[in-house]
A and B are shown apart, each in its own frame.
Chain A
Amino acid sequence: MYIPGSGFFNHLADKGLRQAVSDKIEETTRAVLAGIGVKEARALLRGDPPTEKPNPRYRAQVKSFTLHLRPKFYQEGATWFTHTFRLGFLSVFFFVVETITGLILMVYYTPSPDVAYSDMINILSNVNYGKFLRDMHRLGAELMVIVVALHMVRVYFTGSYKHPRQFTWLTGVVLLLVTLFLSFSGYLLPWDQLALWAVTIGTSMADAAPLVGPQLNLILRGSQDISAGGLLRFYLLHIFLLPLVAIIFISVHYYKVAREHSISLPAAIEEGEAPPAKVAAAKRRIDILPDLITSEIMWITLTLAGMVLFMAFVYSAALESHANPLKTPLHTTAPWYFLWLQGMLKLGDKTWWGVIWPTVIFLILFAVPYIDPGPSRLAKNRKAGITAGVVVAISIVVLTFMGTGLWGVPAPPAEEIIQEFIPEEGVGLVRELGYAGLPTGSALPAFLCDRTNQIDTEIPVDYIPGGVYDVSDPTTYPGGEMNHVLAELRDAVDRESNKRGNNFFDGNLQFTVQDWQSDLKRVSVIVTWLEIPEGSTDNIAISKCFEKVLYFQQKSDYDLLEWTVGR
């Protein structure tokens, strides 16, 4: 009768305990490591030469599914850090990080405007490691965009897109687009103001496309504005369609590298410009087992440790207030990697600059290897190509700067001053003072600003029981950190008053703090100024005001989701 597992005991009787156990370990090791035995595994980790013939390390690549995806070796020159900077490898690494953290986050997330934001709050305040996972996912996404873009820049400047790698380049451009849209589609999911308005701006570009624009916009958003339908669509793009496309194209891209043409050697090596000894060294084989594998594991662990440390002590993914379709925040911008596009939009016509030009740019990008068929990859033989690359890179940087709120249509001066100190979202100097840093003082004369932006003169002078601070009068300053903020406010008001052409004269600012109830203070900031009414012929200035009211609760620490550098 055969008893399962009895083989080992039979061997025990034949060979003795020691031999039977070591044979079993050897057998198991070979089964798990695709034919590599204990002795060979030790040799691998020590960097010793193979212990058996034929080389069991190559055999492993035939037997193991994971290893068969990899090339058997690279040439040493292709692995020089300064040649590749490991950027392609890191792109895949971040894709894996995003997949794992994304899958876990999906457990706690529902793509519906009713609950998406409260799910975010739940992830941040009730889920163990919830903030860690979200930060990791967000940071990984930002780094992935950077790394993929740099990978393309590297391939361009080393001329690695040339024959025989033209098609690999083409799939790479697809992957760049997929990465951008993966990140962009994820932007909407937290359903905060940042999400809603960044994506509104992004999709409004689709609207400008000739002929199909409005339809395309409708397909993306699901309705005229982004709402439940749009959120679900972006969610499905983010978790299903785009990752699927990414996996397919990563596979094609890597298959080309692994099986067809490998990673390019530095041009000087390939074209024999370097000294022969260096060329010989660069062409030495570096086997995947053990050299590449250990190197890759080292890079994975190092990047992971760097990310985790950065998150633990520095990084926090922002979460703004709940999405409000009725209120566009001042100076809304697209995600940073689309700022160049927003910058282009400021140059003129929406269809021309927002749709046609970007399409042409990406078409040219796709076609780079076919436009530039010159065989030499050396920089000295590609002067036009390198110059074009540098010009494009500088243009992108300039356009990105133009896309930020710094270069744009300014709001009225009073609103700009308020936005500078009490931004709609984020912290700003006033919120930084916090509940405790806002002294309420005693009842003082104050004025109110009414609904038509006129100063209300009918209010009794002791109307406001609280601290009333006039920035132009330092004797009203309460002391402490608040003095510093009030002085900065005064400088900002003076700056706007002295500026020409903004119809803002003789500005002043009244800052009022009231104890509203226990643990809650009410702050009213009123900017007053003189302006000449539109269409006025006699140039007589009238008095205007603008008020911003905000409440401060004792525990609402706005710094929690800010980067803590320099805190």
Chain B
Amino acid sequence: MIYTRILIGLIAILVTIATIVFIGINEPDRQDEFKGAFLGRSIEVGAGVFEQYCSPCHGLKGQGSPRAPQINSKEFFENRLRDLGYAGTMEAYLTLTIRGGRPVKSDPKWPQNMPTWSVDFGGPLRNDQIGNVVDFIMSWEKDAPSVGTEPAAITAVGDTPEERGRSLVEVGAGCIACHTIGGTGGSVGPNLTNVYAEKGPDYIRESILMPSAVIAEGFSDGIMPQTFGQTLTEENINDIIAYLKSVSGQ
């Protein structure tokens, strides 16, 4: 009886050791596989966060817009750190900029500063989400196109004023990056869903052209870009007002 037990015990120990050795031999490969998978998942999550929070200004694929520079470019990955005289890595630079925003504009032509995105600085994103976005942006590096960083012109798409206005609000001028209109959008500026019903068209026109004329309660001056007067045409502004009228009171 005792012999049998000792024999079974010995076999079991040998099986355990053999399995542990087997796992150990496979450890380097397994670790590589996991690293790749976790980076892949991080890029997937980062792409989703980028689409939701970053693309309204930087473009769906980082190609830039009238509001923010192109970041998906060879020049950005190769020269940016040198131009700034920044000693850290690209990942560190991206993390820092996304988390804390930019206190000054790198080029006065951009209508606004990069906002602070990290919850640590009053933004909407957790730091792990910012890590995902950094992984996503870094995944552009190897195929980044070699083009300049000139912003594209603001364009309106659609047949009716409301449709054109909506395309301006959502894509062209990108109002929803900061303002909530009709259920979605940012919270940097006031909710504009009912602004037409409450304040009327002249107020909207004035606020686009002279953002500092009236500051909504609870918000501070100097955040809304002052440049829409130059980038938007009269027709663009009328279209935006038409769209705001159509969503107002819904």
Tell me whether A553 and B41 are in contact in the complex, defined as CB-CB below 8 angstroms, given that A519-B139, A520-B139 are known contacts: yes
Residue of B12, B30, B33, B127 contacting most chain A CB atoms (<10 Å): B12
Residue of B22, B44, B143 contacting most chain A CB atoms (<10 Å): B44
CB 8 Å contact bits of A516-529 with B (1 = contact, 0 = none):
11111010000000
Pairwise interchain contact A129-B24, C-beta atoms closer than 8 A: yes
CB 8 Å contact bits of B1-40 with A (1 = contact, 0 = none):
1110110111011011001101110010011011111111
Pairwise interchain contact A312-B40, C-beta atoms closer than 8 A: no
| A114 cross-chain contacts in B, Cβ below 8 A | 127
Tell me whether A550 and B44 are in contact in the complex, defined as CB-CB below 8 angstroms, given that A301-B12, A518-B142 are known contacts: yes
Pairwise interchain contact A560-B33, C-beta atoms closer than 8 A: yes
Pairwise interchain contact B43-A322, C-beta atoms closer than 8 A: no
The residue in chain B whose Cβ has the minimal distance to the Cβ of A552 is B44
Pairwise interchain contact A452-B182, C-beta atoms closer than 8 A: yes
Does A554 sit at the interface, judged by CB under 8 A? yes
Does B155 sit at the interface, judged by CB under 8 A? no
Does A298 sit at the interface, judged by CB under 8 A? yes
- With beta carbons under 8 angstroms apart, the residue of B22, B23, B43, B127 that contacts A520 is B43
Does A271 sit at the interface, judged by CB under 8 A? no
| B2 cross-chain contacts in A, Cβ below 8 A | 45-47, 290-291, 294
Q: Report the count of interface residues on A (CB-CB < 8 A).
A: 50
CB distance from A525 to the nearest CB of B (A): 14
Measured CA separation A550–B12 after assembly (Å)? 46
Stretch at the interface among B45-53, B211-219, B226-234: B45-53
CB distance from A50 to the nearest CB of B (A): 14
CB distance from A469 to the nearest CB of B (A): 21
Query: For chain B residues 41-73, which have a beta carbon within 8 Å of chain A?
Result: 41, 43-45, 47-48, 51, 61
Tell me whether A556 and B44 are in contact in the complex, defined as CB-CB below 8 angstroms, given that A124-B34, A520-B139 are known contacts: yes
Does B106 sit at the interface, judged by CB under 8 A? no
Does A549 sit at the interface, judged by CB under 8 A? yes
Query: For chain A residues 111-157, which have a beta carbon within 8 Å of chain B?
Result: 114, 117-118, 121, 124-126, 128-129, 131-132
Pairwise interchain contact B6-A550, C-beta atoms closer than 8 A: no
Tell me whether A294 and B6 are in contact in the complex, defined as CB-CB below 8 angstroms, given that A321-B41, A321-B45, A553-B40 are known contacts: yes
Query: For chain A residues 516-567, which have a beta carbon within 8 Å of chain B?
Result: 516-520, 522, 549-558, 560
| A301 cross-chain contacts in B, Cβ below 8 A | 8-10, 12-13, 16
| B45 cross-chain contacts in A, Cβ below 8 A | 321
Does A105 sit at the interface, judged by CB under 8 A? no
The residue in chain A whose Cβ has the minimal distance to the Cβ of B35 is A125
| A552 cross-chain contacts in B, Cβ below 8 A | 44
Does A92 sit at the interface, judged by CB under 8 A? no
Pairwise interchain contact B41-A304, C-beta atoms closer than 8 A: no
Query: For chain B residues 120-151, which have a beta carbon within 8 Å of chain A?
Result: 126-129, 131, 139-140, 142-143
Does A13 sit at the interface, judged by CB under 8 A? no
- With beta carbons under 8 angstroms apart, the residue of B3, B22, B36, B37 that contacts A47 is B3
Does B184 sit at the interface, judged by CB under 8 A? yes
Pairwise interchain contact A556-B3, C-beta atoms closer than 8 A: no
The residue in chain B whose Cβ has the minimal distance to the Cβ of A451 is B184
| B183 cross-chain contacts in A, Cβ below 8 A | 451-452
| B43 cross-chain contacts in A, Cβ below 8 A | 520, 551, 553, 556
The residue in chain B whose Cβ has the minimal distance to the Cβ of A306 is B12
Q: Report the count of interface residues on B (CB-CB < 8 A).
A: 52
CB distance from A461 to the nearest CB of B (A): 14
Does A66 sit at the interface, judged by CB under 8 A? no
Pairwise interchain contact A45-B6, C-beta atoms closer than 8 A: yes
CB distance from A56 to the nearest CB of B (A): 17
Does B200 sit at the interface, judged by CB under 8 A? no
Tell me whether A312 and B19 are in contact in the complex, defined as CB-CB below 8 angstroms, given that A555-B39, A557-B33, A560-B33 are known contacts: yes
Pairwise interchain contact B9-A551, C-beta atoms closer than 8 A: no
Does B163 sit at the interface, judged by CB under 8 A? yes
| B38 cross-chain contacts in A, Cβ below 8 A | 121, 124-125
Does A96 sit at the interface, judged by CB under 8 A? no
Pairwise interchain contact B16-A308, C-beta atoms closer than 8 A: yes
Pairwise interchain contact B48-A549, C-beta atoms closer than 8 A: yes
Measured CA separation A451–B250 after assembly (Å)? 14
Pairwise interchain contact B5-A297, C-beta atoms closer than 8 A: yes
Measured CA separation A375–B31 after assembly (Å)? 59
Pairwise interchain contact B40-A304, C-beta atoms closer than 8 A: no
The residue in chain B whose Cβ has the minimal distance to the Cβ of A114 is B127
Measured CA separation A539–B127 after assembly (Å)? 48
| A126 cross-chain contacts in B, Cβ below 8 A | 31, 35
CB distance from B166 to the nearest CB of A (A): 9
Pairwise interchain contact A305-B15, C-beta atoms closer than 8 A: yes
| B34 cross-chain contacts in A, Cβ below 8 A | 124-125, 131, 560
CB distance from A553 to the nearest CB of B (A): 3
CB distance from B37 to the nearest CB of A (A): 5
Does A14 sit at the interface, judged by CB under 8 A? no
Query: For chain A residues 275-302, which have a beta carbon within 8 Å of chain B?
Result: 290-291, 294-295, 297-298, 301-302
CB 8 Å contact bits of A427-469 with B (1 = contact, 0 = none):
0000000000000000000000001100000100000000000
Does A364 sit at the interface, judged by CB under 8 A? no
| A520 cross-chain contacts in B, Cβ below 8 A | 43-44, 47, 139
| A452 cross-chain contacts in B, Cβ below 8 A | 182-183
Identify 6 new A-B residue pairs, CB closer than 8 A, beyond the known A118-B128, A305-B12. A125-B35, A297-B9, A301-B10, A309-B15, A555-B39, A558-B41
Can you offer 12 A-B residue contacts whose CB atoms are under 8 A? A47-B3, A124-B34, A125-B34, A129-B27, A298-B5, A301-B16, A308-B19, A312-B19, A516-B47, A551-B48, A553-B40, A556-B40
7 cross-chain pairs, A with B, having the tightest CB-CB distances, nearest first? A556-B40, A553-B40, A301-B12, A47-B2, A555-B36, A125-B34, A305-B12
